[in-house]
Structure 1
Amino acid sequence: MALSPEPPSSSPDTSTGLDVLLGRVALGDRLGGRA
């Protein structure tokens, strides 16, 4: 579950949203220690 080459035609909004959410969660878990 790292970088999956999914078709942008399917749902770019979902892909971007997931990327942002995962990024925020990862940063929060690493920095704050809580997602």
Structure 2
Amino acid sequence: CYHYGYFNFWSARSVKLGSNVIPTVKSIKGYLHSV
């Protein structure tokens, strides 16, 4: 659940930043790596 929350945190941040997609990509890699 912790990793999922981390993913959501970065995902929400990415949306807030708008065009900045880098945080989302990093979060996805981190999430998949944790799994």
For normalisation by structure 2, the TM-score amounts to: 0.49
User: Looking at both structures, which has the greater relative contact order when contacts are Cα pairs under 8 Å and sequence separation is at least 6?
Assistant: 2
For normalisation by structure 1, the TM-score amounts to: 0.49
Task: Kindly name which structure, 1 or 2, has the bigger radius of gyration based on alpha carbons.
Answer: 1
Structure in which a larger fraction of residues adopt helix: 2
